[in-house]
Every structure is written in C-alpha cells, then in structure tokens.
Structure 1
C-alpha cells in the first residue's frame, strides 16, 4: 500500500507541473520597409490669373483650373527625406476676362480689350498634357503618411486644345485651336504643406501668345499665366 500511495503522489505532482507549463507567446515579425517611396497621385484646384497684362485688362468671375496626374518618387538620401520625382498629368485651365478674340469681315482674327458692359460673356479655355519634375523635401518616415513637405518643381506643358468664346450680345465668336497660342508652356512651381492639404503656385515663363502674332495698339501681347490654389497628394 505504501508503494501504491507513493506512485500516486508522484503522478499527481508531475501532472500539476505540466499544467503550469504555459507556452511562450509568439509575436509576429514586423518587417521595416527601409526602401519606401512617396509615389503619389496628385490633384490640384487653382485660381487662374495673367501677368504682364495690357492696359485696361480685367478678369471677371472665377477662372478655374484643374489638374491631375502621377509622380514617381526617387529618393536620393539614406533617410529618404530628399528625393526627385517625375511624372505625367493633364490640365484644364479656364479664364474669364475682357480680352476679346473675334473675327473681322475678312475672317482675320482680331484682338481687343473691351469694357465689360460691351459683352455678354468672354472666356478662354485650354487643355494640356503636363510633364512635371520636382525636387522634394519632407520629414516622412516609413511608419506615417502624415508629414510636412516642400516640393519645388518645373513643368512643361503641351496645349493640345484651346478655345475662345466671345458673346457680344449680337454675335458669338468661337475660335478653336488658335494658331497664335504658344502650344508649349513652361515654368516653375512650388507646393508646400502638411499631409494631404498643400498650397500650390505656378508661374509661366513664356507668353501665352506667340511673339509677333498678336498686337494691341502696336504693342506685342505678352500675357503669361499664374495659377494659385491647393494641391492634394494621394499615396
């Protein structure tokens, strides 16, 4: 009997010990992406203006600009806070103003600055393909998509379609793909902000109209574009 009780005691002891043996928790291995990129789709909304305008030139209503595209991010430092990006996009630019484009009796295109009261409406719009390239600084990390940024770039645009529409109350003059328009436009731009919301400014370096093709009172028209607004970046 003493031998039987001894065996039962040892079996109970080892059974209780085995129940207390808890398996260690296995934590998932988190892989750190040290080679992340800020490849981004972008979308901008701007107010469109002109610089180097002729005398008595005025804009009216809200001249809207829309653009969107994709930028490929190429970091150049180890922490990946500095990079170069290049991309492709499309733009729509609309301008309401009193710079009237019409046709005379001989079908020749005529340019004039008119009083707002003399016309019912006047607008110019264009569509372009954009090739932006930019130098980027940001304080981003692989853990967060919310960060401060300053992007300085240069954009080359090709205007593949343009239309001016003048309604003087009696006649409507619609001119499509005016040959006097500089199809190639280029200029620097700057965007800066935090997370999705960023301020945007673009300045055109070359005139909207070709040199020598449009005159007003014997002077060449050298209007250039200026766009200011917001740009949104989406990963």
Structure 2
C-alpha cells in the first residue's frame, strides 16, 4: 500500500511539472518554453477502478470493495493537421482484485466451485494480473500552447492473463490456487475514457467470460464478465 501511495504521489508531481509552462525572468531576460507544433499527448496512463462481476450465478455476491490498478504506455499518432484527432496503440499492465463468496477448491481430478455463507470464512478473493494491449481512437481540443483540454478516447483492449490466483481462508481450512487452468487466458472488450485535464472517467467491459465452461456444485453456470469503472490519469 505504501508503494501504491508513492506511485500516485510521483504521478501527480510529474503531471504538475510537465503541464506548467511559466516564463522565467532573469536580469530582464525572459525565457519561454519552445512551442512544439508536432506535439503528442497522453502517452502514459495510470488508472484506478472499482470492479463489478456481471453474469453471476444465483446466490452469488461480492463482499467488500473490489479494486483495480492499471498503467502503461500509449503511442499517440495524430491523423489531422491540428493534431486533435489521433489513434493510439499501447502496452500496459493491470491488476484486478475481487472479494466474493464463490470458493474454488482443488479435488482429485479437477476443481469444484461453490457459493458459501459469507460468515463462514474470514477472506476469499480472486486476483488477476494482465498484460494489456489497448488501441484507441482519440478526440481532444488540445493546442500546442496548452496541455489543459477536454478529451474523449474510445477503444478496444485485448488482455492476456499473466497470473491468476484465488485464496480462501476460514478457521478450519485454507485453499490457494495459482494459475487455475479454468481461467480464460485471453480477455477482450471495449473501453471509454473522457474528461478534462487531470480528471477522466474510465469504463471497461469484458466481452468474454473470466472462466471457461465451469459450473457450481449446484449446476449453476459461472459466466463472469467484468465491468471496471473508475478514473484514468494521463501524462506527457
């Protein structure tokens, strides 16, 4: 958690420094930042989200707050003379955590999935780390002189599951499964980011299930898709 706060502090410090273009006077000589008419925008991103599982089986619930963090690089490629319309392709990492009452247990020959009473355990979570490849269509009203502008970025993201983990902890039992083969390795879906200057709303919706074809012990299909809603920050 301390590392996360340090990253966020460093991000805002860099963001403030990068966006200030204040002239400095030394002995009656004024120096101005050179205007770059071939500028690019928003090539690094950092996001914080709340994660909601959709298409859940009957009786399922999420407990506590499920969160996500993402960061990465996007190559901004303007396609008009004013450089207000662009395409961007990037590479990043994302981490998503879900607190639920769906317990995954390993048994001889495979795994079983069951929904249990939330009062019967102290902790039960699913964690996933993805390598993300986003592509965006970008509109903004930026100018070479100012880095404060409105933006609307819509795109599509393909994600590869690099690490998946579930952990269930109760007074009489602990179950930890790393890289469950029932996870779908490849995830994909559309996203949208829009806002002004530093603050931007962000939403992503996964089009395919987090799991392959699996069921609970009661025969309910587990077709989880994910909705991630939060804030996206851009610099440089």
In the TM superposition, what is the alpha-carbon distance from 1:220 to its structure 2 partner? Answer: 2.6
What whole-Å deviation, never above 9, does each CA across 1:96-145 have from its counterpart, x for those lacking one?
A: 011111124x3631101111012221000011100000000000000000
Cα distance in 2 between the residues matched to 1:185 and 1:119: 30
Larger CA deviation: 133-142 vs 161-170 = 161-170
2:144 maps to 1:126: no
**Structure 1 unmatched ranges of 5 or more:** 1-25
**1:187 corresponds to:** 189
Cα distance in 2 between the residues matched to 1:139 and 1:81: 6
**1:20 corresponds to:** none
Larger CA deviation: 33-42 vs 138-147 = 33-42
In the TM superposition, what is the alpha-carbon distance from 1:33 to its structure 2 partner? Answer: 2.7
Which 4+ stretches in 1 moved above 4 angstroms? 26-32
> Does the CA contact (< 8 Å) of 2:57 and 2:221 recur in 1?
no
Cα distance in 1 between the residues matched to 2:36 and 2:73: 22
Question: Which of 84, 87, 101 in structure 1 is aligned with 2:87?
Answer: 84
2:77 maps to 1:42: no
**1:52 corresponds to:** 55
TM-score of the pair, normalised by structure 2: 0.83
Secondary structure of the residue aligned to 1:117 is helix
**2:154 corresponds to:** 152
**1:223 corresponds to:** 224
Distance 1:80 1:213, change over 3 A: same
Question: Between Structure 1 and Structure 2, how many residues are aligned?
Answer: 209
> Does the CA contact (< 8 Å) of 1:156 and 1:186 recur in 2?
yes
**Structure 2 unmatched ranges of 5 or more:** 1-28
Secondary structure of the residue aligned to 1:220 is coil
Distance 1:30 1:227, change over 3 A: closer
Cα distance in 1 between the residues matched to 2:183 and 2:198: 34
Larger radius of gyration: 1
**1:201 corresponds to:** 203
In the TM superposition, what is the alpha-carbon distance from 1:60 to its structure 2 partner? Answer: 1.1
> Does the CA contact (< 8 Å) of 2:112 and 2:217 recur in 1?
no
In the TM superposition, what is the alpha-carbon distance from 1:79 to its structure 2 partner? Answer: 1.0
> Does the CA contact (< 8 Å) of 2:58 and 2:220 recur in 1?
no
In the TM superposition, what is the alpha-carbon distance from 1:35 to its structure 2 partner? Answer: 1.6
Cα distance in 2 between the residues matched to 1:77 and 1:177: 44
TM-score of the pair, normalised by structure 1: 0.83
Secondary structure of the residue aligned to 2:183 is coil
